[in-house]
Amino acid sequence: MKKMVKIFPMTLFISVFVLTSIMLPAAQAKVIGTGEYLQQQNHSARSDVDAFMARDDVRKQLVEMGVNPDDAAKRIANLSDAEINQLQKSIDDLPAGSNVFAVLGVVLVVLIVLELVGVTDIFTRM
């Protein structure tokens, strides 16, 4: 019985290891050329811009500005890869808008802590 208790965990471990190594394919890595990499990057940038333009809030904003969303999509489709990459970077750099309230909240908390510690005298003047 003691011998079986010692052998069982090892047998279970080996069998699970063998089964998983048989079922999973081996990972393969290869070197890709610069052109193929850039093509993948450009495709990714185009899909990101297309997804951004397909959002309802973006389409609504375009209509409010007097731009037909379909015309904008056609113009974006005619952009070069460099222009698409620049447009994607601009979209990524846009502020989300919710950070304003987070910053104001942090500033308020810091001011309250400084007031309680006695470093500042802001709230007693009000």
Q: What is the residue extent of each domain of the chain?
A: 32-95
Is residue 107 packed enough to be buried (19+ CB in 10 Å), middle (13-18) or exposed (0-12)? exposed
Is residue 49 packed enough to be buried (19+ CB in 10 Å), middle (13-18) or exposed (0-12)? buried
Q: What is the mean pLDDT of each run of 10 residues along the chain (126 residues)?
A: 74 86 79 86 84 84 81 81 81 63 70 73 63
Cα 122–Cα 123–Cα 125 angle in degrees, nearest 5: 75
Per-residue pLDDT, 124 = 66
End-to-end alpha-carbon separation of the chain, Å? 81
Per-residue pLDDT, 104 = 67
Per-residue pLDDT, 69 = 82
Tokens of 66: 């007097």
